Structure 1
Amino acid sequence: MYTQKLHPATQFPDITVKSSSDEVVALADKQEGCDWKMVVVFRGKHCPICTKYLNKLEEFKGRLRELNVDLVAVSGDSKAQLEAHLKDLSISFPIAYGLTQQDMETLGLYISTPRSEKETDHNFAEPALFVLNENNEIHIAEIANAPFVRPDLEQLVSGLEFIRNPDNNYPIRGTYKA
């Protein structure tokens, strides 16, 4: 198998991509005022489910910001594919392109080959979502092998509200070592 999953409480890898405005973006870097980061990996322009999910995610941007959680979405699409996709998106959070196959493997993502040239012209990552804490440790990871499996955004953001409340002292889960 080509993937090796990233584990909770480990450092998120240093991966850089390009923003829609062609700036180099380190996925783990946080905007000023945010100490946590949500990295959403989407399949690309060819996926209508991704388009719907990203547009829905826009509705939660304010609540994430109140929690000091920065947000970025990224795919393996080219700049031209991202520019074409932006016409179908109603988002104001940063979106990036250029996730390489090596990056996808480093992140432990499931990778698919296109079914035809109509779908896309490159291998692409299946959906994933990572939430990084103030130390860039993976606090939450969701890695799927199909476009139909994604976290419910209301439940996810409500969970982050619970986690971020210091009174709850909620640890990183899934860290058992035999």
Structure 2
Amino acid sequence: MKKLTALFTALFCALILSAQEAPEGLFLNSKAPEFKAKDQDGKEVRLKDLLKKGKVVLVFYRGEWCPYCNKFLQKLEDSLSLIKEKGATLVAVTPELPENIGKTVTKTKAEFPILHDEDLKIMKAYDVEFEVPENTLTRYRNSGIKIDENNGKNGNFLPVPAVYVINKESTVVYRFFNQDYKKRPNVKEILEFLQKTL
């Protein structure tokens, strides 16, 4: 009986630990961590500089190989002028190498900054990064997607697709965070939120 109790206790603790390791993202009214990184043109982008101009729409995406990411980034690009009209700056963050960001720009025609998250610093600060399980990596490799090669030293880590709106006081005022990589917020919803908070 003692062995059985010890086994259940160990399993319960393992479940709690694994649940604690799953990213949760930033919550509403959280303070958005400061960051700086280089965009697709090699220009350094800092959150504090962007916030001087107004709100920031911060998007985390997986890579140029992800059709769901490309579709969403394309929709954001199509609405870029509307986002700017509402006093916001759009910026995207990815673990992929700069040369692969170039492929994303080609596919989506993105004219907004896309930042290479070196050493996953931004993804960790915003609690969106996770290591892709080996069985999923195998499925990706079998279909020709090599996340580790796409990401370089960022390895097999990806962000949970997430979108935050950060106000001038560095507070998260809008959050979309969904573990299902096929789900993204409706761009119209983001625009309506920006309109309400003008």
Match of 2:187 in 1: 153
Q: Are the structure 2 counterparts of residues 73 and 28 from structure 1 closer, same or farther at C-alpha, using a change threshold of 3 Å?
A: farther
- Look up the match of 2:45: 25
Give the equivalent residue in structure 2 for 1:80.
99
Q: Indicate the RMSD between aligned Cα atoms, in angstroms.
A: 2.0
Change (3 A) 1:156 1:70: same
- Which residue pairs with 2:168 in the alignment? 134
CA displacement 1:109-155 (0-9 Å, x = unmatched): 15241624432113111211110111111111111212212110012
- TM-score, length basis structure 1: 0.81
Give the number of the structure whose residues are more often helix, by fraction.
2
Tell me the distance in 1 between the aligned counterparts of 2:24 and 2:194: 26
Amino acid at match of 1:147: Y
Identify the residue that residue 90 of structure 1 maps to in structure 2.
109
Counterparts of 2:171 and 2:77, CA distance in 1 = 24
Q: Which runs of no fewer than 5 residues in structure 2 stay unpaired?
A: 1-19, 149-154
Change beyond 3 A, Cα 1:100–1:149: farther
Is 2:87 the partner of 1:103?
no
For residue 55 of structure 2, what is the aligned residue in structure 1? 36
> Scaled by the length of structure 2, what TM-score is found?
0.74
Tell me, yes or no, if the aligned pair for 1:72 and 1:93 is still in contact at 8 Å.
yes
Whole-Å separation in 2 of the counterparts to 1:89 and 1:13? 27
Q: Is the 8 A contact 1:110 1:144 kept in 2?
A: no
Q: Which runs of 4+ in 1 moved over 4 A?
A: none
Number of equivalenced pairs = 163
Instruction: Please say if residues 74 and 99 of structure 1, whose CA atoms lie closer than 8 Å, have aligned partners that are also in contact.
Output: no
The farther-off stretch of 86-95 and 98-107 is 98-107
Q: State the structure with more CA Rg.
A: 2
Structure 1's 74 and 80: CA in aligned 2 closer, same or farther, altered over 3 A?
A: same
Helix, strand or coil: the match of 2:91?
A: strand
Q: How far apart are 1:87 and its partner, in Å?
A: 2.1
Q: Which residue of 2 aligns with 1:54?
A: 73
1:4 Cα deviation after fit: 5.0
Greater mean deviation of Cα atoms: 7-16 or 130-139: 7-16
Query: Which stretch has the larger CA shift, 6-15 or 129-138?
Result: 6-15
Is 1:15 paired with 2:35?
yes
Gaps of 5+ in 1: 165-178
